[in-house]
Structure 1
Amino acid sequence: MKANTTVLISILSALFMANSARGQVPYASDSIMKCKMPGVVAYTFDDGPAEFNDQLLAILARKNVKASFFVLGERLNEFPQQAKKIYDAGHVLASHTYSHKVLDPLFKQDEIKTRQLAEKEMKDTSDLLFTQAGVRPNYMRPPQGECGHPACRQVMAEQKYVVTHWNVDTNDWRYEAMGKNDKANATKNAMEEITDKIINKSDPTKDSFIILQHELLDWSVNMLTERLIDEVGKKGYRFVTIDECLGTAAYVGGTAPPPTTNPVPPTTNPTTPAPGTGNPAPGTGNPAPGTGNPAPGTGNTAPGTPSGNIAVPSGASTGPEPEKTQSGASIQQIGAWAMGAAALASYLLL
């Protein structure tokens, strides 16, 4: 009887380990809109890299803030040097699909065809990131936040993506026309939701936020970014990358960084916005990316395919290529389930 009890405990322990190995954040969830702990803000930028990316990286470096970039594959083709700059500066790279197609309406029209499209969009963007920066992302954000269709969620779950939304939006895209003639007023309008939800109504001891911004507009990058960082920082929030915010590794084969206990606050001294395009990338000496992330491949050349033409890189990276479909957590899960199965077999033979 004692032997039976011992084996049964082994079974339960192994099954618990298998369940724990799944990771702390559910794959393909459509409800991830805030961080797991209070007092932090994940600053995220969509639709890049774009022409103002160097200026954005310079601002973030001056303000001592790390952000997360949900990039488009077609823009990685258009600006092939930026992914590695983003990674080397200590920011997180994530997927925003290849061509920004809104998925839910397409799934409703033709589920089989759209499944193939979605799989290709994710694979092509992952391949480009691996070629250009040596990493494959675990996080994705669907265009316009639409991945509620069961088939869309299934595709992302099968590919082990953490579907990431937001709970505060700058809505900077709404003020594109205004910003051409009145950048100050456009910036003020883009700060409205930040001011309302974070500055006026939130409590850093209880709340956390994932902020959505784009890097496509000059005033949004060069004016809004600094103002947002200063005001949110003064409220008492700490800026983190999306992997620290949610507790799952940023990249395949990586590990999530532990929460920082003594954070360095963002720099809030007023600074002059970076001038026009062509600014150099952020200075050397920026912290390396989080521990456990694969080192970027060396000697990789960016594909020269024009924007809009999907290029699937092959053979460009050095070293073994990680598989998106088999993360470290899932390997642990398989091993744990195997332990459980072996223990169960032993129990049945008693």
Structure 2
Amino acid sequence: MSRQVSSLLAIAVVCVTLAPAPALAAAPKKAPVDCSKVKCIALTFDDGPGQYAGTLLDTLKKYNAKATFFLEGQYVKSRPAFVKRMVAEGHELGNHSYTHPDFTKKEIWDIRAEVKKTQDEVKKAAGVEPKLMRPPYGLTNLPISDVATEFGMPIILWTAGSEDWASKDVEKIKKQTMAVAKQDSIILMHDWVKQTVEAMPAIVQSLQKKGYHLVTVSDVIKGEELKPGDAFPVPQGWSNQ
């Protein structure tokens, strides 16, 4: 083979190697769920991320279900990888304080510090800040509302609970969750309860078989037009007006 032909072949190989690969077609984006047209439920998990959060996220991913996690800053700091994964997989994050004190027994500057530290830890872990707040124990008052307003967050409570923290029993958690499941429910659960995480595959499948879409809290409350500091569901004796 002549040097000229060899040179031409070498140039051809380089050109093929350097040629840009054809662009892959982008996967079509899934349309957002409209809870005014379909049955929706928001499963919410408090006090995490717990040590079993990875298994829970695996279950949610397997069944294409979304959830809302109300996180404690102290656990965000110790388990940041879970928080980053929650965001990457389309779940919603909420602020549940830093160390879980009863906010109704705290001065407003202490409440503010708890919320701020958690916002900062979540931002550090996942690059986002929570847009919702759930005070510890679901207890709220005007100073707590004032702090939520400062941070631009409505206060999200729940319509019903799984009572998982009390029973710590897989069958009881499944039974209670299905008993309180209704259109637009916001159900309280905990990802630190091992039995809750064990029950989740059956719970998710049962809800989906009943026609429910498992969505985030923001999907469920979209029509409520909540302002920062508003509480939902509205506690007895409370007014958002």
Map 1:325-340 onto structure 2 (within 5 A).
none
CA distance in 2, matches of 1:59, 1:43: 13
Q: 2:122 is matched with which residue?
A: 129
Unmatched runs of 5 consecutive residues or more in structure 1: 1-34, 108-113, 177-185, 249-324, 326-350
CA distance in 1, matches of 2:66, 2:164: 20
CA distance in 2, matches of 1:116, 1:80: 26
CA distance in 2, matches of 1:47, 1:68: 12
CA distance in 1, matches of 2:153, 2:73: 16
Which of 152, 166, 172 lines up with 1:189 in the alignment?
Answer: 172
Pair 1:145-2:144 in alignment: no
Map 1:213-252 onto structure 2 (within 5 A).
213-222=189-198, 224-247=199-222
How many corresponding residue pairs?
Answer: 190
DSSP-derived class of the 1:191 partner: helix
Map 1:1-350 onto structure 2 (within 5 A).
37=36, 39-104=39-104, 106-107=105-106, 114-147=107-140, 149-176=141-168, 186-198=169-181, 202=182, 207-222=183-198, 224-247=199-222
Normalising to structure 2: TM-score of the pair?
A: 0.73
CA distance in 2, matches of 1:81, 1:131: 11
Q: Is this contact kept in 1: 2:162–2:187, CA < 8 A?
A: yes
Q: Is this contact kept in 1: 2:178–2:203, CA < 8 A?
A: no
CA distance in 1, matches of 2:42, 2:60: 13
Give how far 1:191 is off.
2.6
Q: Is this contact kept in 1: 2:80–2:126, CA < 8 A?
A: no
Give how far 1:36 is off.
7.0
Q: 2:239 is matched with which residue?
A: none
Q: 1:297 is matched with which residue?
A: none
CA separation of 1:175 and 1:156: change in aligned 2, threshold 3 A = same
Q: Is this contact kept in 2: 1:168–1:193, CA < 8 A?
A: no
Give how far 1:55 is off.
0.8
Post-superposition CA distance 1:285-315 (Å, at most 9, x none): xxxxxxxxxxxxxxxxxxxxxxxxxxxxxxx
Q: Which runs of 4+ in 1 moved over 4 A?
A: none
Give how far 1:235 is off.
1.6
Identical columns (%)? 28
Give how far 1:131 is off.
1.0
Q: Read off the aligned partner of 1:78 and give its amino acid letter.
A: S
Give how far 1:87 is off.
0.7
CA distance in 2, matches of 1:69, 1:194: 17
CA distance in 2, matches of 1:98, 1:39: 33
DSSP-derived class of the 2:203 partner: helix
Q: CA RMSD in A?
A: 2.0
Q: 2:235 is matched with which residue?
A: none
DSSP-derived class of the 1:81 partner: helix
Give how far 1:121 is off.
0.6
Post-superposition CA distance 1:93-134 (Å, at most 9, x none): 111111111112x04xxxxxx101110011110011111111
Larger Rg: 2
Unmatched runs of 5 consecutive residues or more in structure 2: 1-33, 229-241
Q: Point out which structure has higher relative CO (alpha carbons under 8 A, 6+ apart).
A: 1
Normalising to structure 1: TM-score of the pair?
A: 0.51
